[in-house]
Structure 1
Amino acid sequence: MLTKSLVLAVGCSALMFGCAEQPDERQEIVDNLVEAGFPANDIMVVDGKVYVGRDAEVSLAASREMLAQDNTTQEQYRTTNLVSPVVTKICINGSTFTGAFSTALDLAIQNYNELPLTFAMARTPSTDCSFTINAVIQPGVVGGSAGFPSGGLPYHTINIGGGLSSYSVDVIEHVITHEMGHTIGFRHTDYYNRSISCGSGGNEGDAGIGAIHVPGTPTTATVGDSLMNSCFRSFETGEFTSSDIVALTYLYALKDYAGLNFEYADARRTVSTGEWAPGSYKAECASGEPATGLSLNPSSRHTRLALCRTGNDSRYPHDGCYARYFSTSDSRGTIATGDWDPGYYKGECGSNEFVAGVAQSTAHEITAVLCCPGNVAHTSCSARVFDGQDSRESSTSGEWDAYNWKGECGSGRYVGGLSRSSSGGAPHALLCCSP
């Protein structure tokens, strides 16, 4: 079953022109849209403006442009305007969402927060919100609608149809995540041919908001291959696909940092060091990058993300690296730093070495750090205990793992060691050092 995911509530009946000025221009827009292949129920007039795809206003020039465009087959598209990097926390006011809708909103927010983006998302009430989006339930509507960024800010409202109550939480999560995607600048992946996911429909065109291909995404749109397809199915999972993640990270990845999620699989920016911790999940920075942070999930007690400071810094080569295991006792390349986390097992690289990777077992116990010789001196070291709260020497990397506890070394500093609990194996503290 294919279901339209964007339905716009209208003040006038679709295709009727008695309630606004300039009917001739509107009629030409409608005629152009029909010629471009849009079915009548995909074209609406609201307050004298014509909408296509049920979420994007179409100007006369844009409707004419649709007729001149060739159909392309590139998948991920964005609008001309995006969200500014100064927006570091987007809050969602979903105070009227209850039951499955409330659960789905939480899961949609989690979808974005699982990626190391320039912004975090949170439900209100929350502190330090850069911008707040109002989430509204529209009774009787199946699907949702939203707008696109303007002035560096997300669109201010997402409308979610109350008719989705007959669908699963995953489907509602899908629709909410989709609409949130529009607010930060994503077009439909099949905007050029809505029949791909909807079974009918044509080219939405530029629509005056831009349709810019996101590099690195697939060259074809396919049913089920993107959460940003125009229409949804009754069995959606609500999760981003791999191409969605590529598009998000291309547009909004942390600058100068890379977050590596190794909670359930390896996340390595290089494999040149070989299988240095067999049987464990490994996070590993690339050559020229030190590890600078680590996060811990408060409820599951799983280690989630390792943070690398990106760039080809000659002080941090990836040569002569080795694993230092410390799951049953301390394993330290130097004791000059003293007992910097009493009562916890410590893995610490030598005085001229830095941590380039971290390993955890499939049972989520920290097992080892990857130590690499570098042009570092292991000076001015201090422990940052992050089991229980964030403990960050700097926040310039942004909110790189929202809702999880983060330990992080400051600008120009690196991880020289890591401690873990003796019972359960959760990480406890980072040893931050200066080169």
Structure 2
Amino acid sequence: MKNQAALFFICLLAASFVISCQKDNKQSGSEKPNVPDAVLAQIKAKGFSTRNVHAVNDGYLVEGDIFLSTKDLSKKDVTRKVRVAKTEQYNTDNTVYGLPRVIKVKVSNLGTAFVQGTDLAIQRYNALNLRIQFQRITSGTADITIKGFYEGPSGGYITLGSSGFPTDNGDPYNLVQMNTHPDAYGSNPNVQYVGSVIQHEIGHCIGMRHTDYMDRSYSCGGDPIDEGDGGVGAVYIPGTPSSPDADSWMLACSNGGNRTFNSNDIIALNYLYQ
């Protein structure tokens, strides 16, 4: 949905604006001209949206906040998806393994709101008593590092944050990037808002796709986009809803700054990590 004041999209709700996950979500928009058709075909083959793909260093940003490296795109994957009804689908290709496991998280050169937001996200994950637990560290080697970048609105969108999916060897994606530009979170970021975005991005790091992957119009508006399954299978989780789920923490677009797991999210996380 559109920010009526500034005509750009971002991930969650800021004040009274409805904002879209990590970038603009103009359903009528086209791909950036500097993204080759061959790359778009690779992205689509992996089951990701090819709308508004953005070239970044060493790869591409898709669906607003998911980083796909050029190496990722060239690999031929055996991908597994977890489907929670049609609009409740999570990609679980390269999930984290070697469980039980403690994932160490470090916040690098970011302000207090980002540190406290990270602690909030960790607290919410750990409360689920999964076989993956998270621990924030201040020194040593981290499994996930949360860093800042500074980037204002460009081309009708602003990025709040980005991350990627687990590696081939079962490690979580090692980087969450959070935008420190005041147009992203304001000059005095709300901890619950920032924490909810970090929680969302960590979800990608452990293998979760946007909940409304099969129909992004549900949370973002515009034309329905159903990318299909990219030629790979899906695993249905019994006991999950057969209709859209408005409160999922992994919705592509959200109308709330403070968003955490709902009961169906917990079912999916337990399926993967309990």
Q: TM-score with structure 2 length normalisation?
A: 0.69
Alignment of 1:205-284 (within 5 A): 205-206=228-229, 212-223=235-246, 225-233=247-255, 235-253=256-274
Tell me what 1:154 maps to: 172
Tell me what 2:19 maps to: 3
1:42-82: CA deviation from partner (whole Å, max 9, x where unpaired): 322346855531325496999xxxxxxxxx72414232221
- The answer to whether 1:180 aligns with 2:202 is yes
Given the superposition, is the C-alpha separation of residues 92 and 238 from structure 1 closer, same or farther in structure 2, using an over 3 Å criterion? Answer: same
Find 1:145's aligned residue among 138, 158, 162: 162
Tell me what 1:83 maps to: 96
One-letter code aligned to 2:54:
M
Distance in 2 between residues matched to 1:133 and 1:50, nearest whole Å: 20
Q: Is the 8 A contact 1:194 1:203 kept in 2?
A: yes
1:241-276: CA deviation from partner (whole Å, max 9, x where unpaired): 1111111122111xxxxxxxxxxxxxxxxxxxxxxx
Tell me what 1:135 maps to: 146
Once the two structures are aligned, what percentage of the paired residues are identical?
A: 34
Alignment of 1:393-404 (within 5 A): none
Find 1:192's aligned residue among 211, 214, 236: 214
Given the superposition, is the C-alpha separation of residues 227 and 60 from structure 1 closer, same or farther in structure 2, using an over 3 Å criterion? Answer: same
Of structures 1 and 2, the one with the larger relative CO (CA 8 A, separation 6+) is 2
One-letter code aligned to 2:185:
S
The answer for unaligned runs of 5 or more in structure 2 is 1-16, 25-30, 77-84, 152-157
Per-residue deviation, 1:213: 4.4
Given the superposition, is the C-alpha separation of residues 212 and 229 from structure 1 closer, same or farther in structure 2, using an over 3 Å criterion? Answer: farther
Find 2:33's aligned residue among 9, 16, 33: 16
RMSD of aligned Cα (Å): 3.6
Alignment of 1:372-383 (within 5 A): none
Given the superposition, is the C-alpha separation of residues 123 and 25 from structure 1 closer, same or farther in structure 2, using an over 3 Å criterion? Answer: same
Match of 1:94, SS state, is: strand
Q: Is the 8 A contact 1:91 1:132 kept in 2?
A: yes
Given the superposition, is the C-alpha separation of residues 50 and 123 from structure 1 closer, same or farther in structure 2, using an over 3 Å criterion? Answer: closer
Find 2:119's aligned residue among 89, 96, 106: 106
Q: Is the 8 A contact 2:108 2:148 kept in 1?
A: no
Q: More deviation in 174-183 or 242-251?
A: 242-251
Per-residue deviation, 1:193: 1.1
One-letter code aligned to 1:5:
C
Tell me what 2:62 maps to: 52
Per-residue deviation, 1:89: 0.8
Q: Is the 8 A contact 2:91 2:208 kept in 1?
A: yes
Distance in 1 between residues matched to 2:216 and 2:74, nearest whole Å: 20
Find 2:185's aligned residue among 143, 165, 168: 165
Distance in 1 between residues matched to 2:166 and 2:42, nearest whole Å: 24
Q: Is the 8 A contact 2:50 2:62 kept in 1?
A: no
Q: Is the 8 A contact 2:102 2:132 kept in 1?
A: yes
Per-residue deviation, 1:192: 0.8
Alignment coverage as a number of residue pairs: 227
The answer for unaligned runs of 5 or more in structure 1 is 9-13, 63-71, 254-435
Q: Is the 8 A contact 1:92 1:133 kept in 2?
A: yes
Alignment of 1:353-372 (within 5 A): none
Tell me what 1:120 maps to: 133
1:286-335: CA deviation from partner (whole Å, max 9, x where unpaired): xxxxxxxxxxxxxxxxxxxxxxxxxxxxxxxxxxxxxxxxxxxxxxxxxx
Per-residue deviation, 1:27: 6.4
Task: Give the greater-gyration-radius structure (CA).
Answer: 1
Given the superposition, is the C-alpha separation of residues 60 and 220 from structure 1 closer, same or farther in structure 2, using an over 3 Å criterion? Answer: farther
Match of 2:178, SS state, is: strand
> Quick check: which one's helix share is greater?
2
Per-residue deviation, 1:143: 2.0
Per-residue deviation, 1:220: 2.6
One-letter code aligned to 1:132:
D
Per-residue deviation, 1:207: 5.7
One-letter code aligned to 1:241:
N
Alignment of 1:379-418 (within 5 A): none
Match of 1:187, SS state, is: coil
